[in-house]
Amino acid sequence: MTSELDFIAALRALATAPEARGLKDDAALLGRLVLTHDMIAQGVHTLATDPPESVAAKLVAVTLSDLAAKGATPVGVLLGYCLGDGEWDRRFLAGLGEALAHYDCKLLGGDTIAVPGPRVLGLTAIGEAGDRTPDRSGARAGDGLWLIGPLGDSAAGLAMLLADPAATGPLVDAYQRPRALIAEGRALALHAGAMMDVSDGLLIDARRLAAASRVRIDIDLAALPLSPAFIAARGDDRTARLFAATGGDDYALLAALPPGAEQIVTKSLPSGAQMTRIGRLVAGAGIALNDAGEPVDLPEHLGHEHHA
């Protein structure tokens, strides 16, 4: 098996066009369009037992989340689909239609093949850029670190499903049917120095943002917004908070905002959206953790590491 990091490094050597943003972003910017492609393998990035409707919902959300992180509005998708059994395919399409309708996003085309082995699904999403398209590199020391969206719910839901495949509830929903925060991304993008979606885990993704912006990020575990369902399942002690900060599959938005910007952003957020300040950017490198001011050692695993 090739190192995924080595492979991506070799890919970067090919992706010299400025539109590719060095492949350091999850999306390319081509004129006014933002383009991204994501793949999911059934049973690898989802559980083999996940309902096909939710696999479709997840594929759409995971991909559109990359548009959300650019403040882009979804326009359309191209689907790459591996056919399986008819009932699964039918239910997947039902979920796909529902998910695309939710985002007011068009199915534009794609390709369908039949292959043995795990079902590999690809989705290319095209979005229209807003007035600003932040990447990961524009954060400055002095900015606040803000989070919108769930944290830890998805990882808690996955843990529940692994213990009991029949588990249900809001945490399982968060794992199986995440939502891309399109409207929230649009509001944040106008003011964020840097933004990305949290897909591999807050800590590992924050470290990537810090590296791209050449700053240090201090994160306060005590400030992490945990849902009532999460707290009911796993508590809210430091162990639970570290679990939430490293679990991944959140599709929350992480943004660096200059002082004062949060008041403007808050006014344009959709109703119900909560924006939480979870840390700050300072001169330096890497990330540092504290728990209401008390320094905390970084855990060994910051999130989903790509195979090194």
| Cβ distance to a copy of itself smaller for residue 109 or 235 | 109
The residue type found at 231 is: I
How far apart, in whole angstroms, are the C-alpha atoms of residue 183 and residue 282? 28
Longest dimension (CA), the chain: 56
| Cβ distance to a copy of itself smaller for residue 115 or 232 | 115
The DSSP secondary-structure symbol of 223 reads G
Minimum CB–partner distance for residue 52 and a copy of itself (Å) = 12
How far apart, in whole angstroms, are the C-alpha atoms of residue 59 and residue 78? 12
How far apart, in whole angstroms, are the C-alpha atoms of residue 245 and residue 247? 6
Spell out the alpha helix ranges (H) of the chain. Answer: 4-14, 52-68, 86-103, 153-163, 170-176, 182-189, 202-213, 228-234, 238-246, 261-268
Residue whose C-alpha is closest to residue 146's, from 68, 255, 221: 255
Task: Show the tokens assigned to 259.
Answer: 């002082």
How far apart, in whole angstroms, are the C-alpha atoms of residue 26 and residue 49? 28
Sign of the dihedral through C-alpha 40, 45, 49, 52: negative
- The pairing of strands 73-83 and 106-114 is parallel
Interaction site with a copy of itself (CB under 8 A): 1-4, 6-8, 10-11, 14-17, 19-21, 23, 25-28, 30, 33, 35-41, 44-45, 75-76, 78-86, 89-90, 93, 96-97, 100, 106-118, 120, 122, 124, 126, 306-307
| Cβ distance to a copy of itself smaller for residue 108 or 162 | 108
How far apart, in whole angstroms, are the C-alpha atoms of residue 109 and residue 88? 20
**Rounded (10°) CA dihedral 246, 299, 11, 46:** -30
| Cβ distance to a copy of itself smaller for residue 44 or 283 | 44
Minimum CB–partner distance for residue 3 and a copy of itself (Å) = 8
Quick check: 185 and 70 in contact, CB under 8 A?
yes
Minimum CB–partner distance for residue 306 and a copy of itself (Å) = 8
Alpha-carbon distance values, 248 to 37, 157, 252 (Å):
19, 11, 9
